[in-house]
Amino acid sequence: MTQTALPGLVTPPKLPQGTLRIVPLGGLGEIGRNMAVFEINGKLLVVDCGVLFPEETQPGVDLILPDFSYIEDRLDDVVAIVLTHGHEDHIGAVPYLLRLRADLPLVGSQLTLALVEAKLQEHRIKPYTLTVAEGQVEQFGPFECEFVAVNHSIPDALAVFIRTAGGNVLHTGDFKMDQLPLDGRITDLRHFARLGEEGVDLFMADSTNADVPGFTTAEKEIGPTLDRLFGQAKKRIIVASFSSHVHRVQQVLDAAAKHGRNVAFVGRSMVRNMAIAAKLGYLDVPPGILVDIKNIDNLPDHRVVLMSTGSQGEPMAALSRMANGDHRVVVGQGDTVILASSLIPGNENAVYRIINGLLKLGADVVHKGNAKVHVSGHAAAGELLYCYNILKPLNAMPVHGETRHLIANGNLAEDSGVPSDRVILSDNGTVIDVRDHKANVVGQVEVGFVYVDGSSVGEITDADLKDRRILGDEGFISVITVINRTTGKIVSGPEIHARGVAEDDSVFDEIIPKINAALEDAVLHHADHTNHQLQQVVRRVIGTWVNRKLRRRPMIIPLVLEA
């Protein structure tokens, strides 16, 4: 029987010497916040430290971080943070962890560390880094890490093979098996095979496309589609993609050069990341093709390509602002907008709003649903089966995906011969111990959401978000009343103000006498009532009336003052 997360909070036992413990702090049951903590003999190794982007049910939230509380008081025991690649869902939370201890060693490939260092510079943190490459082996305390080349939608991605006294773990990070990648760097299955011969006690594999049959399409197959669209377009072309998708940007640059167009990068992260990629040689920029966004108005429309952020409907990203008419780039009739990305679960409504907004402005919108303008960066079921068959892992623990993805990956592990009782389907906070070639679920630690809202980190709670949703969905009512405690009479009010509840405050005229009567009765018969208790009387009276009369459940703020 497949091992699953334990129900409720089950305190894990003390970790014995020589046993490897793994605690995922994010990335399970969600697309984002990827972070896993490995522990043996009193030392900790962290693999990835990413962010999750908020959904519509989390208004005002900018980012969601992993919950660091599990390791917060043990940061001196952390020997390294290994970063598998440079996507935000794997590196975006690094600045927030380094705020707690700035000298935590960061380990990753050249491009990954360059992207992290640029991010940390904005936070005024100068990190200690170690650049590694495929085939390299490094010792971090009791952890020996060997790095393996894997192919993904960003260059320089690495899997990490972790050797410990408790067992060997292969963590893929995000990967696929594109056999004809633009940079010629394939997932090194020969290296995987050698590790399989040595012995993989636990295989932690990317699950994002585990429920997709077959094999992921090669990135180069997008090229002909872009070539056709660029050839057909009569006016400006706007391409939206992830700001770190170097291969996609490369194909846009190549298509633009072929069709005599100039390219401007739009969006701060796009400008920053592509400058880094070009400087390090990961992006081949044709001479004279790039122009500054400030100069595009000096070019005819048929010579312009804008490479933009905002493919996921992020409200403050460039494409969203263009769709809302709130950007210096004005989208007009006949412009072509290409959404060269997939939809991250939870972002669908935001993306469709942008598509509708752009169509209203007269643009032709091309997306994954009507043209081959995106291929995934994650291994599909066929590729995962290849890995299981090559590695022959003794235990499997799917990572990086929603529940449906994790279950599909677990089924693939069983199909390939991993015994069902050695397939672990865990949640964030599940504690897994590896010893004597066996992985077991031994407990569950509390792992919550840490919200970033402007400059505040971790101060926003789920209760605050509930209040925000109520304000957005149901509106707000304030009731101010001044009462004479001695006489029990209302001196002033109730003064009712509402926002988002009714068209006119006069609708509340009929409830005012009921509020007066309830307050006077409370003072008369319960002289010891505190102001808070009197406010609750007001809340109950007006809340019941609004619910019955207006069919609403607004936020109600009563204020009772004494004369």
Active site residues: 206, 378
Listed in order, strand segments (DSSP E) in 249-321 are 262-266, 304-308
Q: Is there a binding annotation on residue 375?
A: yes
Distance from the Cα of residue 294 to its chain's centroid: 31
Pairing assessment for the beta strands 237-240 and 304-308 based on DSSP bridges: parallel
Residues 336, 235 contacting (CB under 8 angstroms): yes
Q: Is there a binding annotation on residue 62?
A: yes
Q: Is there a binding annotation on residue 245?
A: yes
**H/E element, 119:** helix 110-122
Could you tell me which residues come within 8 angstroms of residue 469 by beta carbon, excluding any fewer than 6 positions away? 57, 59
User: 């068209």: which residue's tokens?
Assistant: 503
Please report, for residues 293, 488, 530, 559, the alpha-carbon distance to residue 521 in angstroms, rounded to integers and kept in the order given: 68, 8, 14, 17
Of 355, 396, 401, the C-alpha closest to 379 is: 401
Q: Is there a binding annotation on residue 85?
A: yes
Q: Is there a binding annotation on residue 416?
A: no
Q: Is there a binding annotation on residue 8?
A: no
CA dihedral 85, 87, 91, 95 (to 10 degrees): 140
Terminal CA-to-CA distance of the chain, rounded, Å? 69
Q: Is there a binding annotation on residue 377?
A: yes
Q: Is there a binding annotation on residue 526?
A: no
Residues 372, 221 contacting (CB under 8 angstroms): yes
Q: Is there a binding annotation on residue 417?
A: no
Q: Is there a binding annotation on residue 259?
A: no
Q: Is there a binding annotation on residue 244?
A: yes
Distance from the Cα of residue 195 to its chain's centroid: 31
Q: Is there a binding annotation on residue 152?
A: yes
DSSP calls for 325-393: T-SSS---TT-EEEE-SPPPTT-HHHHHHHHHHHHHTT-EEE-TTTS-----SS-BHHHHHHHHHHH--
- Residue 401 burial (C-beta neighbours within 10 Å; 0-12, 13-18, 19+): buried
Q: What is d(CA 222, CA 240) in angstroms, rounded to the nearest whole number?
A: 14
Tokens at 382, concatenated: 């066929």
Q: Is there a binding annotation on residue 378?
A: yes
Residues 178, 188 contacting (CB under 8 angstroms): no
DSSP calls for 374-418: ---SS-BHHHHHHHHHHH--SSB--BSB-HHHHHHHHHHHHHTT-
Tokens at 486, concatenated: 């001695």
Q: Is there a binding annotation on residue 90?
A: yes
Pairing assessment for the beta strands 202-204 and 168-171 based on DSSP bridges: parallel
Distance from the Cα of residue 459 to its chain's centroid: 19
Neighbours of 389 (CB within 10 A): 12
Q: Which residues are annotated as a binding site for Ca(2+)?
A: 60, 62, 453
Q: Which residues are annotated as a binding site for substrate?
A: 243-245, 374-378
Q: Which residues are annotated as a binding site for Zn(2+)?
A: 85, 87, 89-90, 152, 174, 400
Q: Which residues are annotated as a binding site?
A: 60, 62, 85, 87, 89-90, 152, 174, 243-245, 374-378, 400, 453
